[in-house]
Amino acid sequence: MISECHPQIFYSHTRDVCESCHQEEERQFERVYAFLRKRENRTATMAQVVEATGVEEKLIIKWIRAGRLQLVHFPNLGYPCDSCGAMIREGRLCAKCLGQLQADLRRAEGKKEKEDRPRHATYYTQDYQER
Quick one: pLDDT at residue 110?
85
Give the closest residue to 89 by CA, choosing from 111, 73, 110: 73
- Looking at residue 1, its pLDDT comes to 47
Say yes or no to pLDDT of 27 above 50. yes
pLDDT value at residue 114: 74
Over residues 62-70, the mean pLDDT reads: 90
Triad 89, 69, 37: Cα angle to 5°: 115
Beta carbons within 8 Å of 41's beta carbon, 6+ residues apart = 35, 48, 49, 52
Beta strands in the chain (DSSP E): 79-80, 87-88
Query: Has residue 131 got a pLDDT over 70?
Result: no
Q: Using alpha carbons, list the distances in angstroms from residue 115 to 101, 103, 105, 106.
A: 21, 18, 15, 14
The identity of residue 89, as a single letter, is: R
pLDDT at 117: 73
| Confidence band for 118, pLDDT divided at 50, 70 and 90 | confident
Structural contact between residues 2 and 24, judged by C-beta atoms closer than 8 angstroms: yes
Q: Which residue has the higher pLDDT, 80 or 3?
A: 80
Task: Render the burial of 83-109: b for 16+ CB within 10 Å, e for the rest.
Answer: eeeeebeeeebbeebeeeeeeeeeeee
Question: Which amino acid does the sequence have at 127?
Answer: D
126 pLDDT above the threshold of 80: no
Q: What is the pLDDT of residue 101?
A: 94
